[in-house]
Amino acid sequence: MNTKKMIVLVAHDEKKRDLLEWARFNQALLRQHDLYATGTTGTLLEQELGIEINKLQSGPLGGDQQIGAKIAAGEIDLLIFFWDPLTSQPHNADVQALLRIAVVWNIPVACNRASADFMISSPLLSNTYQRFLPDYHVYAERMNPDEAEPQKKAQVT
């Protein structure tokens, strides 16, 4: 990771106010990084902070999946997702998939204000950092029967 991080800021409806307050408090630090957000959250952050936000679709319309794709492509360094554990979300499967892909690719995740405070105040944020990237090469080969040896391929079909 470079010193300038690519940070995603996301919040469920009931947590948007918390995220906006947190972002306002950390505005000077956030300005030093490239920021991404799902649609509604991104618009609110731009209005509140006057910072350019790379806005994706709204979460329920595919924004969570777009973020997941960026994580898998190595385009995201941190995920700050103020999610609401007390309210049922119609796109809960997308949220779970996003959190799962962040863990798969070893992306730091903050799910509330306290964890976001710890993450953003870390000295690692303003320095280069060599994140451990898992090697899924063996797993990918095992899961792709087209690349398997002929005798193994025959067993799969």
- DSSP state letters, 92-110: HHHHHHHHHHHHHTT--EE
Which of 43-47, 71-75, 87-91 has the weakest average pLDDT? Answer: 87-91
Write out pLDDT tens, residues 43-61: 999 999 999 999 999 888 8
Please report the domains of the chain, with CATH numbers, ordered by start residue.
6-129 (3.40.50.1380)
pLDDT band at 92 (very low <50, low <70, confident <90, very high): confident
pLDDT value at 150 more than 50: no
- Predicted pLDDT at 144: 64
Which of 60-64, 118-122, 129-133 has the weakest average pLDDT? Answer: 129-133
pLDDT band at 6 (very low <50, low <70, confident <90, very high): very high
Question: What are the phi and psi torsion angles at 8 (to 5°)?
Answer: -100, 135
Q: Decide if 64 contacts 94 (C-beta within 8 A).
A: yes
Q: What are the Cα distances from residue 84, in Å, to 10, 20, 24?
A: 11, 15, 20
pTM: 0.81
| Polymer length of the chain | 157
pLDDT value at 147 more than 80: no
- Predicted pLDDT at 152: 46
Q: Which residues are CB-neighbours of 103 under 8 A, at least 6 positions away?
A: 109
Strand order in the sheet with 109-110: 54-55, 34-37, 6-11, 78-82, 109-110
- Predicted pLDDT at 140: 66
54: tokens are 């790379």
| CA 105/CA 115 separation, integer angstroms | 19
| Number of alpha helices (DSSP H) and beta strands (DSSP E) in the chain | 8, 5
Is the model more confident about 88 or about 150?
88
Of 13, 34, 64, 77, which one is the catalytic site residue?
64
Active site residue 64: yes
- Pairing state between β 6-11 and 78-82: parallel
